[in-house]
Amino acid sequence: MGAEMILKGQVLSFERSPFDAGRPEDACRIAEAVALRDGQVAAVGPLAELRAQMPQAEVADHGARLILAGFVDAHVHYPQTAIIASWGKRLIDWLNSYTFPEEERFGDRAYADEIAARYLDLTTAHGTTTVCSYCTIHPESVDAFFSAAQARGQRVVAGKTCMDRNAPPGLRDTAQSAHDDSAALIARWHRVDRLEYAITPRFSPTSTPEQLEALGALWAEHPSCLMQTHLSEQTDEIEWVQELFPQARDYLDTYEEFGLLGARGLYGHAIHLTERERHRLREYGAALVHCPTSNTFIGSGLFDMAGLMAEGQRIGLATDTGGGSSFSMLRTMAAAYEVGQLRGTPLHAAQLLWLATQGSATALRMQDKIGNIAPGMEADLVVLDLASTPAIAQRSARAEDLWEAVFPTIMMGDDRAIAEVWIGGRRVQERR
């Protein structure tokens, strides 16, 4: 019998998507306690029942705190940790001014190790337990990130970023080396412990047709891998893609033509989609990843959450650090709410929490493992203090239900709201 623990509080789980319920809150279940055993959720229910099932388990009473699945961040760039919140450029200028110079440093394994550890420390402090990260073109950057996550027992996804044009010479590989380096990394890391590999062309403008074709062939060779890239983030980016691929029907076609459209594909941003692109993404069951703090920070546009959800798209939520301006999924949920308001379709607190947990887990095709609290799921949890600051406490004290109590934490909360974080059934963060 492995280690046993019972957490008492307001335990939130999802029985279905709040986007599919008549009332979003009807998709949710609130229980009194959750029992953990051997790194998994053993049971959810009344405290007395769980204590009877596990009489030797230690009980941690969190009172009115909210216990939910750890946050899942479906699109990040861990190498951009040190340049987060760099001043006000459009996407291409921002890449050239800040991102590319920083990414050139990641051929140094010691530096990559330092930033990988810093990134995972920062995100864990904000309640994030799983991330899907771009690395740099350097295999060392992938080894550093996977090694750091493996040592912490974290479930993460990552991949070597591939670029063979429109990037500095020090950040270019080739079609062949992108394929071969990625294949070697897949052999070394994919599905080892809690790690998964994502084949990673940065985006069409930085890959030649030959490189996209090579990576499409690699994905066909390793269909259990995810594939992550960017799609339709900014209008001037879309115009650039049209110039580089004059025969393509649209931006998505530059991936589709080379075998880079599929059910295990992750397409970051996806703001300015054509009707054909929306149809094809839905047809394939591909995932779109909403990055609201990045989209407002870089001035990209407003994601059509309501419209895309209504047509049955698979959607996750992400910080997109460092284009995104926060490591916090709470801040990201707040930004998603604000973007929804600007489009006239505000999101309910239950929908925001689902996007940051089960929604992103579904985007990563991991909804059977993470992103919810149910028996057999991996025990990655976050405990939210719904009165973490005086401003939040005075507002939540007047709440008439859980959703009104949690909403101030979504809108104003930060790492002070993260009372505890559990990864693989181990408490890894505790705020005294």
Q: In this predicted model, what pLDDT tens digit does every residue of 102-124 receive, in sequence order?
A: 999 999 999 999 999 999 999 99
* pLDDT level of residue 2 (50, 70, 90 thresholds): low
Global model pTM greater than 0.95: yes
The helix or strand, by DSSP H or E, that contains position 420, with its residue range, turns out to be: strand 418-423
Residue 281 identity: L
Write down all domains in the chain, each with its CATH number in brackets.
4-69+372-430 (2.30.40.10), 71-363 (3.20.20.140)
Helix and strand numbers, DSSP H then E, in the chain = 17, 16
Kindly give, in sequence order, each residue whose CB lies less than 8 Å from that of residue 198, ignoring residues fewer than 6 positions away. Answer: 132, 157, 158, 159, 225, 226, 227, 228, 266
Would the CA dihedral through 91, 92, 97, 103 be positive or negative? positive
pLDDT score, position 221:
98
Q: What tokens appear for 350 in the block?
A: 């239950």
pLDDT score, position 322:
87
Using DSSP bridges, classify how beta strands 381-384 and 314-317 pair: parallel, antiparallel or unpaired. unpaired
Q: In this predicted model, what pLDDT tens digit does every residue of 261-277 receive, in sequence order?
A: 999 999 999 999 999 99
Q: What tokens appear for 263 in the block?
A: 């059910």
pLDDT score, position 176:
98
Q: In this predicted model, what pLDDT tens digit does every residue of 120-171 receive, in sequence order?
A: 999 999 999 999 999 999 999 999 999 999 999 999 999 999 999 999 999 9
Q: What is the mean pLDDT of residues 203-207?
A: 97
Q: In this predicted model, what pLDDT tens digit does every residue of 270-324 receive, in sequence order?
A: 999 999 999 999 999 999 999 999 999 888 999 999 999 999 999 999 999 988 8
- Work out the mean pLDDT of the chain and round it to a whole number: 96
Question: Has residue 344 got a pLDDT over 80?
Answer: yes
Percent of the chain exceeding pLDDT 90 equals 92
Which of 72, 94, 68 has its CA nearest to residue 83? 94
pLDDT score, position 1:
39
Would the CA dihedral through 335, 336, 342, 344 be positive or negative? negative
Question: Has residue 360 got a pLDDT over 90?
Answer: yes
pLDDT score, position 98:
85
Q: In this predicted model, what pLDDT tens digit does every residue of 77-94 receive, in sequence order?
A: 999 999 888 876 667 777
Q: What is the mean pLDDT of residues 32-49?
A: 98
